[in-house]
C-alpha cells in the first residue's frame, strides 16, 4: 500500500515536473529477458559490454548460446549447439572488416542500455518485474518516431530510487536485433546491473573456436554478428545514422509510393523492420536458403522420393481452392531473429497434412526442426555437405529427410511441448512428449498442374524469390513483378502455399501477422516468383 501511495504521489508531481533521464556508462553488465510477443518467445539473457574497447558478449538461455564481439581483436563468434555438441561459428568484425554478411559498420555493439537523449519524460508509474517479482516505482521516458509511413513507440523504464534499468518496450521496430515489426520487451533484473568494467577474459574466443572440426564461418545471423546493427541506429537521437541507410529509407518509400500510386496490382507499406535496409541488406536478412548450387541439392536425395503424379484422363482442377480458414493451418507466426523459414514451411505443411489425414491438429515444433535437423538428414554439423544449419537456413526436403530417418528414435514434438526460441539449441526431442505424428514420405512438386493437384491434397511447402523491394513492402492485392525470378538458384525463402484462384497463388508467410495481408500474400500466376518451381508435399501415416 505504501509503495502504491508513493507511486501515486510521484505521478501527480510528474505532471508538472520533468525528470532528467539516467545516463549510463559504456561499461556494464546485467541479466534480463528479451520477449518476442508474436513467437511467443522469452529469451533469458546475460549481457556484458565494454563500449570503450568495442567489446560485447551476451549469453542466452543460461549459456546455451554465446555471442562475442571484440573489435580490438577484429574477431567475433557464436558458440551454439548443433544437435548434441557445441560448435563455434566465427566472423571477422569491425568497421572496415567484412564477414559473411558484410561489415558491421561504425556502431556494431547493441544498445542494450540506450542513450535517452531526446526522449520525453512520461511520468512515474508502477512496474511489476516478471524477473524479480517485485513492484517498483518507475520513471518512464518515451520516444515516438515517425518517418514517411513508419511509426514506432519506444518506452524505457528506470527505477525511481536509483535509475537502475527495468524495461525497454519496442512497439514497432526492433532496433536491438532487427527482426520483424512487433511488440518486443527487454526486461532487466535491476539488482544484477553493474557498471564495473567486465573482465577482459569474457571477450576472448574459447579454444573451441581454434579447432577446425568445430569452427566455421557463420553464413547468416540476425544475432550479435549481424551487420544490421549499424542500421538499427538510423533514427535514434545521438546516433550516427549512416547516409546509405537514410538514402535507403527514401528509396524504399519511393517503392511504396510507386506501388500505391502507380499501376501495380498490389498495395504496399513501409514495414518497420525493413524500411532502413538497402536492397543488399534486405536480401541477406530474408535469404535463409543456402545459396547457389546447394539449392539444387535436394535432387541428390538419400531417400527415394516420388513426384506428384497428376491423374491421367479428364481430371479437371477446381477453379479455386483455399485451405485458409479450414482449421488445418497453424496461426501466422514470426520466425523472429532467426533464419528458420525452412523449418516453418516444412513444419506447417506437416501440421496441415496430419490434420487433413487424421482430423487431429498438432502444430509441429519449428524449434525441434531447427535444433535436431542439422546436416542433410540430421547427422549433425557438416558444412561441407550443405543442408540444414539451424538458424542459418536449410531446406524443407531435408527436414522431411530428418523425420524419415529419426522420427522413430526422436519422435515428433508439438509447438506446445517444444516452443519456439528463435535461436540455436541442443536437440531435446527425446526429452519432450512424442505426439505420435509420423511422416510416411514426401513428394517433389513442380509445374502448374503438379502444384494444383498437390494443393488438392494439402498445403505445399514451396520456395520463392522474396528478394524484390516491392515484395518486402507488400500489404495487399496481387503481387505481380516481371523481375521476380523462378529458377531454383534464385529462390531464397521457404513459405507455405495454401491455395489459388484464376489469377494468383495464396501463400502464408512467417514474418508475423503484421506483414502483408495479415501474414499472407497473393502472388500472380503470370510471374509466380518460383511458386511452381520447387515444392514438397508431405504424406503422413494413418493414425
Residue 61 CB coordination number (10 Å): 16
Is there a contact between 474 and 264 (Cβ–Cβ < 8 Å)?
no
Q: Which of 532, 510, 533, 535 is nearest to 521 (CA)?
A: 510
Is 98 inside a domain boundary?
Answer: yes
Are 263 and 220 in the same domain?
Answer: no
Catalytic position from the list 209, 341, 372, 427: 341
Is 198 inside a domain boundary?
Answer: yes
The edge-to-edge listing of strands for the beta sheet with 165-172 is 120-128, 135-147, 150-159, 165-172, 182-188, 27-36, 41-50, 55-60, 65-70, 75-82, 85-91, 215-217
Rg of the chain in Å (alpha carbons): 24
Q: Which of 486, 530, 473, 490 is nearest to 507 (CA)?
A: 530
- Which DSSP symbol is given to 413? -
Assign residue 220 the CATH number of its domain: 2.50.20.30
Q: Which of 276, 298, 299 is nearest to 289 (CA)?
A: 298
| β-strand partners of 194 | 29
Beta strands 85-91 and 215-217, pairing class: parallel
CA atoms within 13 A on the CB side of 351: 26
Question: For residue 178, which phi and psi values (nearest 5 degrees)?
Answer: 80, 25
Instruction: Name the helix (H) or strand (E) containing 449.
Output: helix 448-457
Q: Which of 340, 318, 347 is nearest to 457 (CA)?
A: 318
Catalytic position from the list 139, 388, 444, 509: 509
Are 11 and 97 in the same domain?
Answer: yes
Give the DSSP per-residue string, 324-377: TTSS-SPPP-B-TTS--HHHHHHHHHHHHHHHHHHS----B-HHHHHHH--BTT
Low-confidence ranges of the chain (pLDDT < 50): 1, 7, 14-16, 96-107, 148, 174, 178-179, 212-241, 287, 290-295, 297-300, 378
Are 37 and 179 in the same domain?
Answer: yes
Is there a contact between 460 and 454 (Cβ–Cβ < 8 Å)?
yes
Domain count, the chain: 2
Are 117 and 209 in the same domain?
Answer: yes
Are 188 and 48 in the same domain?
Answer: yes
Final residue before a domain boundary, out of 175, 204, 226: 226
99 tagged catalytic: no
Extract the C-alpha cell encoding 168. Answer: 525497454
509 tagged catalytic: yes
pLDDT of residue 107: 45
Extract the C-alpha cell encoding 207. Answer: 579454444
Are 262 and 220 in the same domain?
Answer: no
pLDDT of residue 260: 77
pLDDT of residue 338: 77
Residue 440 CB coordination number (10 Å): 13
- Which DSSP symbol is given to 303? S
Extract the C-alpha cell encoding 179. Answer: 527482426
Are 66 and 213 in the same domain?
Answer: yes
Using DSSP, state whether 58 is helix, strand or coil: strand
Q: What is the length of the chain? A: 543
Is there a contact between 298 and 398 (Cβ–Cβ < 8 Å)?
yes
Q: What is the pLDDT of residues 134-179, one digit of tens each?
A: 999 999 999 876 654 556 788 999 999 999 999 998 776 545 554 4
Kindly give, in sequence order, each residue whose CB lies less than 8 Å from that of residue 311, ignoring residues fewer than 6 positions away: 453
Is 250 inside a domain boundary?
Answer: no
Expressed as residue numbers, the domain containing 357 is: 258-540
Residue 475 CB coordination number (10 Å): 18
Extract the C-alpha cell encoding 44. Answer: 533469458
Are 196 and 300 in the same domain?
Answer: no
Is there a contact between 344 and 509 (Cβ–Cβ < 8 Å)?
no
pLDDT of residue 265: 82
Q: Which of 375, 481, 402, 310 is nearest to 85 (CA)?
A: 375
Extract the C-alpha cell encoding 297. Answer: 541439392
Are 277 and 383 in the same domain?
Answer: yes
Is there a contact between 47 and 35 (Cβ–Cβ < 8 Å)?
no
Is 375 inside a domain boundary?
Answer: yes
Q: Which of 169, 104, 90, 65 is nearest to 425 (CA)?
A: 65
Catalytic position from the list 484, 493, 506, 529: 493
Is there a contact between 120 and 143 (Cβ–Cβ < 8 Å)?
yes
Q: What is the pTM of this model?
A: 0.76
CA atoms within 13 A on the CB side of 24: 25
Assign residue 422 the CATH number of its domain: 3.90.70.10
Is 242 inside a domain boundary?
Answer: no
Is there a contact between 499 and 451 (Cβ–Cβ < 8 Å)?
no
Question: For residue 523, which phi and psi values (nearest 5 degrees)?
Answer: -110, 135
Are 206 and 309 in the same domain?
Answer: no
Burial class (CB in 10 A: 0-12, 13-18, 19+), 359: exposed
Beta strands 266-268 and 474-479, pairing class: antiparallel
Using DSSP, state whether 24 is helix, strand or coil: coil
Helix-, strand-, coil-residue percentages of the chain, each rounded to 5: 25, 30, 45
Q: Which of 322, 335, 397 is nearest to 177 (CA)?
A: 335
* C-alpha torsion 4→9→14→15, nearest 10: 110
- Rounded Cα–Cα distance for residues 11 and 8 (Å): 5
Is 324 inside a domain boundary?
Answer: yes
Question: For residue 182, which phi and psi values (nearest 5 degrees)?
Answer: -175, -175
Extract the C-alpha cell encoding 258. Answer: 510507386
Is 234 inside a domain boundary?
Answer: no
Is 414 inside a domain boundary?
Answer: yes
pLDDT of residue 106: 40
Are 274 and 199 in the same domain?
Answer: no
- Rounded Cα–Cα distance for residues 430 and 304 (Å): 26
67 tagged catalytic: no
Are 262 and 186 in the same domain?
Answer: no
pLDDT of residue 218: 44
Q: Which of 351, 406, 421 is nearest to 374 (CA)?
A: 406
Amino acid at each position: 500500500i505504501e509503495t502504491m501511495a508513493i507511486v501515486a504521489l510521484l505521478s501527480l508531481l510528474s505532471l508538472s515536473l520533468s525528470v532528467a533521464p539516467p545516463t549510463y556508462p559504456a561499461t556494464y553488465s546485467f541479466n534480463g529477458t528479451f520477449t518476442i510477443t508474436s513467437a511467443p518467445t522469452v529469451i533469458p539473457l546475460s549481457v556484458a559490454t565494454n563500449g570503450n574497447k568495442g567489446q560485447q558478449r551476451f549469453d542466452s538461455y543460461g549459456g546455451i548460446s554465446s555471442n562475442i564481439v571484440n573489435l580490438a581483436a577484429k574477431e567475433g563468434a557464436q558458440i551454439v549447439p548443433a544437435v548434441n555438441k557445441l560448435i563455434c561459428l566465427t566472423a571477422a568484425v569491425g568497421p572496415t572488416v567484412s564477414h559473411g554478411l558484410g561489415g558491421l559498420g561504425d556502431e556494431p555493439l547493441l544498445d542494450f542500455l540506450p542513450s535517452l537523449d531526446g526522449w520525453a519524460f512520461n511520468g512515474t508509474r508502477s512496474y511489476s518485474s516478471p524477473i524479480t517479482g517485485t513492484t517498483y516505482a518507475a520513471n518512464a521516458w518515451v520516444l515516438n518516431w515517425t518517418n514517411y509511413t513508419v511509426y514506432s513507440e519506444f518506452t524505457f523504464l528506470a527505477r525511481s530510487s536509483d535509475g537502475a534499468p527495468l524495461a525497454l518496450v519496442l512497439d514497432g521496430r526492433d532496433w536491438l536485433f532487427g527482426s520483424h515489426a512487433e511488440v518486443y520487451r527487454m526486461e532487466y533484473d535491476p539488482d544484477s546491473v553493474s557498471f564495473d568494467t567486465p573482465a577482459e577474459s569474457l571477450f576472448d574466443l574459447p579454444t573451441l573456436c581454434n579447432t577446425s572440426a568445430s569452427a566455421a564461418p557463420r553464413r547468416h545471423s540476425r544475432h550479435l554478428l549481424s551487420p544490421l546493427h549499424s542500421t538499427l541506429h538510423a533514427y535514434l537521437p545521438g546516433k550516427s545514422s549512416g547516409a546509405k541507410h537514410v538514402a535507403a529509407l527514401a528509396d524504399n518509400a519511393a517503392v511504396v509510393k510507386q506501388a500505391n500510386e502507380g499501376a501495380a496490382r498490389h498495395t504496399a507499406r513501409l514495414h518497420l523492420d525493413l524500411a532502413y535496409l538497402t536492397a543488399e541488406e534486405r536480401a541477406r536478412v530474408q535469404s535463409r536458403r543456402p545459396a547457389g548450387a546447394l539449392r539444387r541439392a535436394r535432387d541428390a536425395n538419400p531417400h527415394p522420393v516420388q513426384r506428384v503424379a497428376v491423374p491421367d484422363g479428364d481430371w479437371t482442377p477446381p477453379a479455386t481452392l483455399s485451405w485458409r480458414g479450414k482449421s488445418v493451418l497453424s496461426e501466422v507466426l514470426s520466425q523472429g531473429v532467426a533464419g528458420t523459414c525452412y523449418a516453418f514451411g516444412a513444419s506447417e505443411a506437416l501440421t496441415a497434412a496430419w490434420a487433413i489425414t487424421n482430423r487431429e491438429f498438432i502444430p509441429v515444433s519449428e524449434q525441434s526442426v531447427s535444433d535436431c535437423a542439422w546436416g542433410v538428414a540430421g547427422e549433425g554439423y557438416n558444412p561441407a555437405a550443405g543442408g540444414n544449419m539451424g538458424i542459418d537456413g536449410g531446406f524443407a526436403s531435408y527436414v522431411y529427410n530428418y523425420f524419415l530417418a529419426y522420427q522413430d528414435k526422436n519422435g515428433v514434438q508439438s509447438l506446445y511441448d517444444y516452443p519456439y526460441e528463435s535461436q540455436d539449441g541442443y536437440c531435446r526431442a527425446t526429452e519432450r512428449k512424442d505426439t505420435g505424428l509420423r511422416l510416411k514420405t514426401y513428394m517433389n512438386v513442380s509445374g502448374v498442374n503438379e502444384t494444383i493437384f498437390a494443393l488438392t491434397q494439402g498445403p505445399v511447402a514451396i520456395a520463392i524469390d522474396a528478394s524484390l523491394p516491392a515484395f518486402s513492402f507488400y500489404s495487399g492485392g496481387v503481387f505481380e513483378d516481371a523481375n521476380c525470378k523462378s529458377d531454383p538458384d534464385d529462390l531464397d525463402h521457404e513459405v507455405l502455399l495454401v491455395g489459388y484462384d484464376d489469377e494468383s497463388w495464396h501463400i502464408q508467410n512467417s514474418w508475423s501477422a503484421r506483414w502483408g495481408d495479415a501474414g499472407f500474400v497473393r502472388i500472380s500466376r503470370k510471374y509466380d516468383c518460383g511458386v511452381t518451381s520447387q515444392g514438397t508435399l508431405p504424406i503422413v501415416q494413418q493414425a
